[in-house]
Chains A and B, each alone.
Chain A
Amino acid sequence: MSEYQELDLQLNGISKLYPGVVALDDVSLRVQAGEVLGLLGENGAGKSTLMKVLGGIVAPTEGSITIDGESHDQLTVIESQAAGIAFVHQELNVFDNLDVTANIFIGREKTHRGSHIVDSKSMYQTVQPLLDRVGARFRPTTLVAELSLAEQQLLEIAKALSTDARVVIMDEPTSSLTLSETKVLLKVIADLKAQGIAVIFISHRLSEVEECVDRAVVLRDGKLVGHLDKAEVNHDNMIRMMIGRNLKSLYTPPASSVGDAVLSLRNVRTEANPASTASLDVYSGEILGVAGLIGAGRTELAQAIFGVGGKLGGDVFVDGRQLNTTTPAEAIKAGLYLVPEDRKHAGLVLDFDIAENVTMASLHDYAKNGIVSRSRQLATAESQRVDLAIKTADVRCAANEMSGGNQQKVVLAKWLSMNPRIIIFDEPTRGIDVGAKSEIYRLMRILADRGVGVMMISSDMEEVIGVSDRIIVMKDGQFTGALQRPDFSEHNILTLAVGRALEGV
């Protein structure tokens, strides 16, 4: 595409500070026309923040961005687009009630001269070559509701091309694609490269990274920690660079040995990964860490077991009895409780007071002839407040007046006031300060020692390694391996999480 100016994009010493968190720390990077740059890093390493800086969505705290020799302290969305930076989002932003062409031109419609009437004919003609360039087999007039996810991805790429993009940023573009669809996408990336367009490819799928990138950079804890040339891009190098912290041990060993299986999954399939099955046993008295990269299907599995939806098949047993997974009420009756990832929406009713929240799942126990006894609610809430050291003056305080850690304790109190057999924690300490974290870990251990099975889904390596008695690793909706404490290491977890086999374990 000779009419485009050759791209020269540089990030110079970009830092981004959030209150209490350094998301990016002095990152410098150069992107040139016609190259495919892999951007690697663990969950939370700062990849997304860096891309948001490029897209003009986040302003860096320090550093500058140089585009075609011109330096900017920060970009606006419009400047970013004008510079030819285009995103293909992980969560697609399409309008499925419109056709392919309307989506590509949304907000930039061509009109008949001097009118506000859409010139469909000329738009359709413009779109066809774009679809050809990305190898799409659907037509400009196809309704987007009829496209598969992979096709919608191609549509997004075509849209990027229609804006004369010079850099296309793809964030986990293959995470929801089948293998053959992924192959098509990788070919499209190669074509873009041949056309002189730079591609920034963010992916956890290392074999794809290996296949398509010219070089790769690795972020860890917001810092650019490594740079791999084409020849050096291989699994071992990538994994080695992505990890490499010294983790503090938070581990408290269990008081007694583990008992029988309290939760058993047999060939459970979810809508998120319909072609994978998951089988697993969680034993009484253990804390089982469930590790995996974001998007591995862990939350979806937990929700399917709990009965909030998304289960396609397979059997779930609690204490050997088969569980009817059509509603959470059945799970709760069996003693299977979920502490959800999204505490503020799924875990609590924020406007309700602590007593109401604590007793919400067992309200029948507090009622006589359908009339709830407030005094009994308050008594239970008060005893939980003391047991869990919930920091509040009064259990009649609304939940939204509390800190994240205390809110999480209220969610826990709800389940502890009942009769738990197994509790699934989904990202239990996300957004919670350090002190409250160790409190939560202590509570988990107490629960396990009482003979409850604890299943902890976590993307925080330090937490998984530090708290679990055993770790199981998930990828694409299935378990790729289990680790006992002596084999715990970030390297082993990551190796399993990207779908490779461990050596000598």
Chain B
Amino acid sequence: MKKKDIGLAVLIIIVGLIVYMRNPLFLSPINMANTANLIGLFGLFAIGQGFVIMTGGIDLSVGSVIALLGVLFVDMVGTFGVPWPAAIAITLVLGVLIGLAHGILITRYKMQPFVVTLCGLLIYRGVARGYTAESTAGFPFGASYPQLEWLTIGRSFGVPHSFIAMLIIAVIMWVVLHKSVFGRHLHAVGKNEEAARFSGIRTGRVITLAYVISAVLAAIAAIYFAMFTKSVQPSSHGNFYELYAIAAAVLGGFSLRGGEGSIVGVVLGAVLIQELQNLVNLLGIPSSLNFGVMGTVILIGVLADEQFSAYRSRKRSARAFEEKSKEASALTEPVGSGTEAEA
């Protein structure tokens, strides 16, 4: 774990303690399970967002992808009777196609990530609303899919499966980001795309793959959200979720300039955000202040982090200056060759 991650974990524990002292319900099994479920749901696509941010890009389409694919999934299973494993497969393939489209527009056609995914945000939401004619997509009354439900909204030992799914995916993505060749190249591309290209890295492929990962994880999240809410209201389902994901990544130490970030960080970021939501509920703060609390905490957290790293780099350059001055003062005494600079 990096220093940043440890700092974030400590913050989560401190906030947790404060909330617990004010309201012991915080650690009740029901609250813990509910919160874990939300962490799982939001963590899934926040991890994907992390990959995109790693490239220096951004994926604004996540919330709309969750709405569109959620509508389609519910309709496939509920209305058309598609067997649920096939419906999952189709949803994932759609996720891949959406990610590919984003990646290709950005790398091959040199469009800006913000523009491409903003258009995605509008288009997918529009298609979802048009497809359902603004009506809510839901499962038929009394229908039940025991295996699918076990997989998505079931619990083992009280732990929601959405949370477990998120953990499994986090482990896989940790290996991908931190241990694989692709992850290494992603770090390089995000930091210095030009130098990465000159090192023989196929930067276009690396970036495209990051968008595919984001869209596929959003597709998985879409299935979990659809099963969790049981019905999908196309105009409001998943609204602003991309912002939760970006916030989690930024809190977790990702730099929007690219090249910096860790999976542990983004997961902890998702945890902190849900903890803050929970805090608002448990401490009786009006829920209208929800976004306000979240924004303030993120702002302070990122500001503190920036100040800290600026302080460290100042200290480093001061050290370098001292070294040089020492050498320069040694030079004023005649010490043989190499002193002609003083002439």
Binding site for B on A (CB under 8 A): 77, 93-98, 102, 106-109, 111, 116-118, 120, 148, 178-180, 207, 271, 274-276, 312, 475-476, 478, 480-481, 499-501
Residues of A within 8 A of B196 (CB): 95, 106-107
Which residues, 175 to 191 on B, are CB-close (under 8 Å) to A?
175, 179-185, 187-188, 190-191
Complex: A499 Cα to B341 Cα, angstroms: 5
Residues of B within 8 A of A148 (CB): 320
Known A106-B196, A107-B199, A274-B325; further 18 A-B contacts with Cβ < 8 A = A77-B198, A93-B199, A94-B195, A95-B192, A95-B196, A106-B184, A106-B199, A107-B188, A116-B180, A117-B175, A178-B323, A178-B327, A271-B317, A274-B321, A275-B321, A275-B328, A476-B341, A500-B340
Query: Are A274 and B340 within 8 A (Cβ)?
Result: no
Query: Are B343 and A179 within 8 A (Cβ)?
Result: no
The prevalent SS among residues of B at the interface is helix
B143: min CB distance to chain A, Å: 41
Residues of A within 8 A of B338 (CB): 179, 207
Query: Are B179 and A117 within 8 A (Cβ)?
Result: yes
Contact of B331 with A by CB under 8 A: yes
Complex: A111 Cα to B331 Cα, angstroms: 49
A238: min CB distance to chain B, Å: 14
A149: min CB distance to chain B, Å: 9
Query: Are A98 and B184 within 8 A (Cβ)?
Result: yes
Which residues, 197 to 212 on B, are CB-close (under 8 Å) to A?
198-201
Residue on A nearest B192 in the bound complex, by CB? A95
A122: min CB distance to chain B, Å: 13
Query: Are A275 and B181 within 8 A (Cβ)?
Result: no
Per-residue CB contact flags for chain B residues 238-266 toward chain A (1 = under 8 Å, else 0) read 00000000000000000000011000000
Contact of B307 with A by CB under 8 A: no
Residues of A within 8 A of B195 (CB): 93-95
Query: Are A179 and B327 within 8 A (Cβ)?
Result: yes
| Complex A-B, nearest 6 residue pairs according to Cβ-Cβ distance, in ascending order | A501-B343, A275-B324, A107-B199, A107-B200, A93-B195, A275-B328
Task: Tell whether A93 pairs with B192 under 8 Å between CB atoms, given A116-B181, A275-B328, A276-B328.
Answer: yes
Residue on A nearest B318 in the bound complex, by CB? A274
Complex: A107 Cα to B192 Cα, angstroms: 13
Query: Are B181 and A178 within 8 A (Cβ)?
Result: no
Task: Tell whether A95 pairs with B188 under 8 Å between CB atoms, given A117-B180, A275-B324.
Answer: yes
B164: min CB distance to chain A, Å: 24
Task: Tell whether A179 pairs with B192 under 8 Å between CB atoms, given A95-B187, A275-B325, A480-B343.
Answer: no
Query: Are A118 and B331 within 8 A (Cβ)?
Result: no
Report which of B179, B190, B340 forms a contact with A501, defined as CB distance below 8 A.
B340
Residue on B nearest A481 in the bound complex, by CB? B343
Q: List 6 A-B contacts (CB under 8 A).
A: A106-B199, A118-B184, A120-B179, A274-B317, A274-B325, A499-B340
Per-residue CB contact flags for chain B residues 307-341 toward chain A (1 = under 8 Å, else 0) read 00000000001001101110110010000011011
B155: min CB distance to chain A, Å: 33
Task: Tell whether A111 pairs with B191 under 8 Å between CB atoms, given A207-B338, A276-B328.
Answer: no
Per-residue CB contact flags for chain B residues 88-130 toward chain A (1 = under 8 Å, else 0) read 0000000000000000000000000000000000000000000
Query: Are B198 and A93 within 8 A (Cβ)?
Result: yes
A257: min CB distance to chain B, Å: 30
Complex: A96 Cα to B195 Cα, angstroms: 12
Residues of A within 8 A of B182 (CB): 116
Residues of A within 8 A of B260 (CB): 97
Residues of A within 8 A of B325 (CB): 274-275
A181: min CB distance to chain B, Å: 9
A381: min CB distance to chain B, Å: 34
Residues of A within 8 A of B198 (CB): 77, 93
Task: Tell whether A108 pairs with B200 under 8 Å between CB atoms, given A207-B340, A480-B341, A500-B343.
Answer: yes
Residues of A within 8 A of B190 (CB): 97
Residues of B within 8 A of A108 (CB): 200
Residues of B within 8 A of A93 (CB): 192, 195, 198-199
Q: Which of A178, A478, A501 has the most chain B CB atoms inside 10 A of its CB?
A: A178
Query: Are A106 and B201 within 8 A (Cβ)?
Result: yes
Residues of B within 8 A of A312 (CB): 321
Query: Are A107 and B323 within 8 A (Cβ)?
Result: no
Query: Are A106 and B188 within 8 A (Cβ)?
Result: yes
B318: min CB distance to chain A, Å: 9
A92: min CB distance to chain B, Å: 9
Report which of A111, A275, A478 forms a contact with B327, defined as CB distance below 8 A.
A275
Query: Are B201 and A499 within 8 A (Cβ)?
Result: no
Complex: A102 Cα to B321 Cα, angstroms: 29
Complex: A148 Cα to B179 Cα, angstroms: 26
Residues of B within 8 A of A102 (CB): 184, 187
Complex: A93 Cα to B196 Cα, angstroms: 9
Task: Tell whether A180 pairs with B343 under 8 Å between CB atoms, given A98-B187, A107-B201, A117-B180.
Answer: no
Residues of A within 8 A of B341 (CB): 475-476, 478, 480, 499
A195: min CB distance to chain B, Å: 24
Residues of B within 8 A of A111 (CB): 181
B325: min CB distance to chain A, Å: 5
Report which of A97, A107, A179, A500 forms a contact with B191, defined as CB distance below 8 A.
A97
Residue on B nearest A210 in the bound complex, by CB? B337
Complex: A179 Cα to B331 Cα, angstroms: 10
Residues of B within 8 A of A98 (CB): 184, 187-188, 191
Complex: A96 Cα to B188 Cα, angstroms: 9
Complex: A478 Cα to B331 Cα, angstroms: 14
A497: min CB distance to chain B, Å: 11
Residues of A within 8 A of B187 (CB): 95, 97-98, 102
Residue on B nearest A57 in the bound complex, by CB? B198
Task: Tell whether A118 pairs with B180 under 8 Å between CB atoms, given A178-B324, A275-B325.
Answer: yes
Residues of B within 8 A of A118 (CB): 179-181, 183-184
Complex: A116 Cα to B177 Cα, angstroms: 11
A108: min CB distance to chain B, Å: 7
